[in-house]
Structure 1
């Protein structure tokens, strides 16, 4: 594995909105001992079968766990996550390991998980560690017949004359992330409890604000009914969201129109929306003077142009417009949205890929959006060397 960026490995950022700075895959699918640095913009490159997509899938699974999803929902195919050739123990159990580091005001905090995939999915071990290497939370199974784990978290420093710190012991469900449960169970009365809370909240906040984006051109062409104006994962309601964003922010819409001019064939003056007689809306490209007054409906565009426009819209909008689970109790300025884009450059030509990668670098440099995606060498080459961009080559 080779890591390239504008300044080597991503430096530790100053305290700011929590964000993941490292993804660890010690034993997950095809990965063995893989450590992936994450920057404001991160692209995984490499040949087919090198583990690019599985890295993005691991990130999304952690995000789901951080949002409170059960382990079976976060890993729909847990057996498929077990490294090939991993043997079962005497009880028929097999599993995998995964982890991450979240940086922010509490410093770099590590989260490491061991997940049993067979015979049923469960989190058999969880460890939360702070920047000083102190274990803040540790869990382990204590009775295989019960769907709980034994959890210990830091309560206070060692008592006078004692060597070990004082901890709280309690049983937690083995299908949920213990770190996500701590804010509801720790009072925060002692320094140790406050340390645990700060670390747990930082990890959960870094994980929760994630938008997996998989534009589906085959579903984006048909007119849509007006709805809540929040873009869905497959971007099939692109026209509805354009109808909202065009009125919400003229500056961002102007940037989207500029992106469309750079990435779509033929002249483009604007990206507009038509309301049809039946109340549905459809998106159109305004071709300007001399073109059809109705413009070119997006349904006539190719897959590459549709994916390009969808990803540009995602980058130029925000969590209020995306169907993302945000922590509503935390001000938006203290959160960072991470867009996951497996196949970032799928169906794009070289020009579109360069334009979109450059737009991602500009947007993410502003500090409130991050991008983690998989891409080919054309994208990696377009942004390699730019500050804040990390290119991780998963090839041999």
Structure 2
């Protein structure tokens, strides 16, 4: 990797395939990111990264989540709180002590495949030093750091009007693609094409829920709140109280899924308000027997939480979807690092079977990391990315 990361020339998109109605990320590129170099990962509706410890499973999901945050308008420091750890280990600084990394993705949808590639400087200060948005081999947006003394990059976006491009500065701490709707007038066909491609990329990136249930935080009763599930799932009981009242059909599916993954008989999954204003979750075993979730094992708790995530939607999860785009045109992508952590093979197989059924419907996708996936061939619809090679 060069000391100051640069972007590679755009590559033409491959042969046409049916365009999805809902924008979704179909490829993740880690050109130079931590232990990955020139890595390209195709992402199916259900994708599992597997490999031994240190192979880069979590890093791949970290890059995806960071792109999602940037697509939602987050500042660079929020997406990369420890950016130096993202720099390839063997990257050498240049004469001005600059080092960085490069990541990107492709979002497919009504506009066809749209590519985003970003070069980020991690040292001596965090900043975007290059960005490129392309479709059909046409560069729609390109930016580069021209003056290191200014906190801006020089950008040019496709116009196809009286001038072929429009030039202007963009901040170096935010993704330019997410800012284009504020800068592009949309008066020419070229500008409208830029806006459509940028919107597709932003919609695909923003509808992401990074989930890593923490069993320790799920055992205690929780106060009532907004009823939106947090990434660590510590407020599971509160969310169950809401979902059980709002949709009996989905709750019945959840109870059946929990019964398949937890030990013993499960008739229902309950949320019980307590006198102190908190709520706790319980398993209804039938015949009046109820088991508080605090008595379940870590694997069972993680299974319950992930099953709830798969059977709900953006309105119940702590995500920030694009409000101006109808929910029917958005796809929720769940990122689950350590998907099989604490679970036995039966639980993992049941959970992935549920994921495959939900992903097949088209409005949810799952990208997860598992320790080993030799059994994944048994799950119809699962695509395995083996990083052990």
The TM-score range, normalised by the shorter chain, is: over 0.9
Residue-by-residue CA offset, 1:322-361 (whole Å, 9 max, x unaligned): 0001111110001011000000010001110000000000
Looking at structure 2, the residues matched to 90 and 103 of structure 1 have their Cα atoms a distance apart, in angstroms, of 39
Looking at structure 1, the residues matched to 278 and 299 of structure 2 have their Cα atoms a distance apart, in angstroms, of 24
Post-superposition shift, 1:113?
Answer: 0.7
Post-superposition shift, 1:276?
Answer: 1.1
**Measured at CA, do residues 384 and 171 of structure 1 come closer, stay the same or move farther in structure 2, by a change above 3 Å?**
farther
Looking at structure 2, the residues matched to 268 and 384 of structure 1 have their Cα atoms a distance apart, in angstroms, of 25
**2:383 pairs with one of 372, 382, 390:** 390
Looking at structure 2, the residues matched to 48 and 101 of structure 1 have their Cα atoms a distance apart, in angstroms, of 27
8 A Cα contact 1:287 1:296, kept in partner: yes
Looking at structure 1, the residues matched to 156 and 41 of structure 2 have their Cα atoms a distance apart, in angstroms, of 29
Match runs of 1:235-314 below 5 Å? 235-289=233-287, 291-292=288-289, 295-314=290-309
Other-structure match for 1:47? 52
Structure 2 residue 30 is the aligned partner of structure 1 residue 30: no
8 A Cα contact 2:352 2:379, kept in partner: no
Match runs of 1:312-391 below 5 Å? 312-378=307-373, 381-383=375-377, 386-387=380-381, 389-391=382-384
Looking at structure 2, the residues matched to 384 and 208 of structure 1 have their Cα atoms a distance apart, in angstroms, of 31
TM-score by structure 2 length? 0.94
Other-structure match for 1:219? 217
Other-structure match for 1:162? none
8 A Cα contact 1:96 1:117, kept in partner: yes
Other-structure match for 1:155? 159
Structure 2 residue 22 is the aligned partner of structure 1 residue 21: no
Residue-by-residue CA offset, 1:150-180 (whole Å, 9 max, x unaligned): 00000006x7xxxxx7100000000100000
Looking at structure 1, the residues matched to 48 and 188 of structure 2 have their Cα atoms a distance apart, in angstroms, of 41
Count of aligned pairs: 375
Residue-by-residue CA offset, 1:341-389 (whole Å, 9 max, x unaligned): 00001000111000000000000111111101101334x52355623x3
Post-superposition shift, 1:275?
Answer: 1.3
Post-superposition shift, 1:278?
Answer: 1.1
**1:118 pairs with one of 114, 119, 123:** 123
8 A Cα contact 2:128 2:173, kept in partner: yes
8 A Cα contact 2:356 2:379, kept in partner: no
RMSD of aligned alpha carbons: 1.4
Post-superposition shift, 1:299?
Answer: 0.5
Residue-by-residue CA offset, 1:263-303 (whole Å, 9 max, x unaligned): 111111100111111121100000002x53xx000011110
Structure 2 residue 135 is the aligned partner of structure 1 residue 137: no
Other-structure match for 1:171? 169
1:377 counterpart SS class: coil
Residue-by-residue CA offset, 1:222-247 (whole Å, 9 max, x unaligned): 00111110000100000000000001
Q: Which runs of 5+ in 2 are unaligned?
A: 1-13
2:61 counterpart SS class: helix
Match runs of 1:46-65 below 5 Å? 46-65=51-70
Looking at structure 2, the residues matched to 139 and 16 of structure 1 have their Cα atoms a distance apart, in angstroms, of 29
8 A Cα contact 1:358 1:382, kept in partner: no
Q: Which runs of 5+ in 1 are unaligned?
A: 1-8, 160-164
**1:180 pairs with one of 178, 181, 191:** 178
Looking at structure 1, the residues matched to 160 and 174 of structure 2 have their Cα atoms a distance apart, in angstroms, of 25
Looking at structure 2, the residues matched to 282 and 73 of structure 1 have their Cα atoms a distance apart, in angstroms, of 33
1:36 counterpart SS class: strand
**1:97 pairs with one of 90, 98, 102:** 102
**Measured at CA, do residues 385 and 341 of structure 1 come closer, stay the same or move farther in structure 2, by a change above 3 Å?**
closer
TM-score by structure 1 length? 0.92
Residue-by-residue CA offset, 1:11-44 (whole Å, 9 max, x unaligned): 9442311000000001000001100000111100
